[in-house]
Amino acid sequence: MAGVSHATVSRVLNGGRDVSVTARRAVDRALKRTGYTPNHHARQLAGARPDSVGFLNCVDVSQLFADTNINRLWLGCTQALADQGIMLVLPVGAGAARAVDAVLMFSAREADLGDSPLPLVACGTPVGHEGEIAYVTSDDRGGARQMVAYLRESGRRRIATVTGPLDLPSGMLRLAGYRDVVGVVDPGLVVAGDYSYQSGVVAAERLLRQAPDLDAVFVASDLMAVGVIDALTRAGRRVPEDVAVGGFDDAPVARRTWPPLTTVRQAWERIPGELVRQLWRQVDGDGPSGVVLPVELTVRASA
């Protein structure tokens, strides 16, 4: 009760445009005096702009800070949103995203898609829903294509691949890119992994059995690629002399392997910003659209 109306108080709260200095001061004092806190729900209901967005990782919550890719994105998004005074929240479990005003979605399988009542942007291609869901993604298919083409131009003839989970867009698309350049593929040269180090090891051992004459492997993630290199080395193959290994992501580990990993670099520094930009478009009612960020072949020593 500063002797002014609701409306004036609201104006002060939202930037104080079109409010006289005296009124503003009176309101400010009253606010402080009464320890007033705006009600988030009422605010959102009345149509305020979202001020909390959820970082929804469809795969695994507990691994959030262990997976360097997700971690990088998390940090970037936190930053990009904090710049605008918006909080990033981590909803956990099935319907938990209802607690926030908007959603950033990661590692979504087809089943995770479906129309959301909230403004939503997917990180990665929402395969099969490209026209309905806004998204930002790296050029997975193009990147895979670049890598495999590079391997081939380096004179490799028996190029195998370790894929990511095939129910994930990135997994499917990187395999598609491999197919694009290899043409008709020998099934013995394709093994599925799950992006983990361990699955890289297992996949490489299997590959060695199925196709002992392979001379290159395109691995769909750097972490798996490390596993592949380790397994290959243990089996007595030299990298890259006997077998060239190419990864994907340019994760921090790519610089620390021996030999350093040739990989496809994702534009990590751009993704969070684009994600947030797309989210605002969504909030402003623009139709869903997709942003495909270019990737860059980064040649080091493993291939």
Partner DNA sequence: TTGTATGCGTTATCAA
Partner DNA sequence: TTGATAACGCATACAA
Which 3 state secondary structure label does DSSP give 177? Answer: helix
Residue 15 vs 183, nearer CB to DNA: 15
Residue in the structure block whose two tokens are 């684009």:
274
Q: What is the DSSP letter of 286?
A: P
Nearest CA to 250 out of 75, 72, 74 is that of: 72
Site membership for a second copy, residue 32 (CB under 8 A): no
Measured in degrees and rounded to the nearest 5, phi and psi for residue 158 equal -110, 85
Site for DNA in 124-153 (CB under 7 A): none
Write down the least CB distance from residue 42 to a second copy, Å. 5
Calculate the dihedral angle through the C-alpha atoms of 228, 229, 233, 235, rounding to the nearest 10 degrees: 10
Contact predicate 118/100, CB 8 Å: yes
Write down the least CB distance from residue 20 to DNA, Å. 3
Site membership for DNA, residue 84 (CB under 7 A): no
* 34, 39, 79, 198: which one binds DNA (CB under 7 A): 39
Site membership for DNA, residue 221 (CB under 7 A): no
* 1, 22, 111, 187: which one binds DNA (CB under 7 A): 22
Question: For the CA atoms of the chain, what is the radius of gyration?
Answer: 24
Residue 93 vs 236, nearer CB to a second copy: 93
Beta-bridged to residue 54, according to DSSP, are 89, 103
Nearest CA to 271 out of 252, 254, 251, 293 is that of: 293
The 10 Å Cβ neighbour count of residue 137 is 21
Per CB under 7 A, the segment of 8-16, 84-92, 121-129, 224-232 that binds DNA is 8-16
The helix or strand, by DSSP H or E, that contains position 263, with its residue range, turns out to be strand 263-265
Site for a second copy in 53-112 (CB under 8 A): 62, 64-66, 78, 82, 87-96, 98-101
Residue 47 vs 187, nearer CB to a second copy: 47
Q: Alpha-carbon distance 246 to 93, whole Å?
A: 35
Per CB under 8 A, the segment of 33-41, 136-144, 216-224, 264-272 that binds a second copy is 33-41
Structure tokens at 6: 């609701």
Site membership for DNA, residue 23 (CB under 7 A): yes
Beta-bridged to residue 249, according to DSSP, are 265
* 42, 183, 241, 269: which one binds a second copy (CB under 8 A): 42
Residue numbers of the site for a second copy (CB under 8 A)? Answer: 35, 37, 39-42, 44-45, 51-52, 62, 64-66, 78, 82, 87-96, 98-101, 115, 117
Residue numbers of the site for DNA (CB under 7 A)? Answer: 3-11, 13-14, 18-20, 22-24, 36-39, 42-43, 45-48
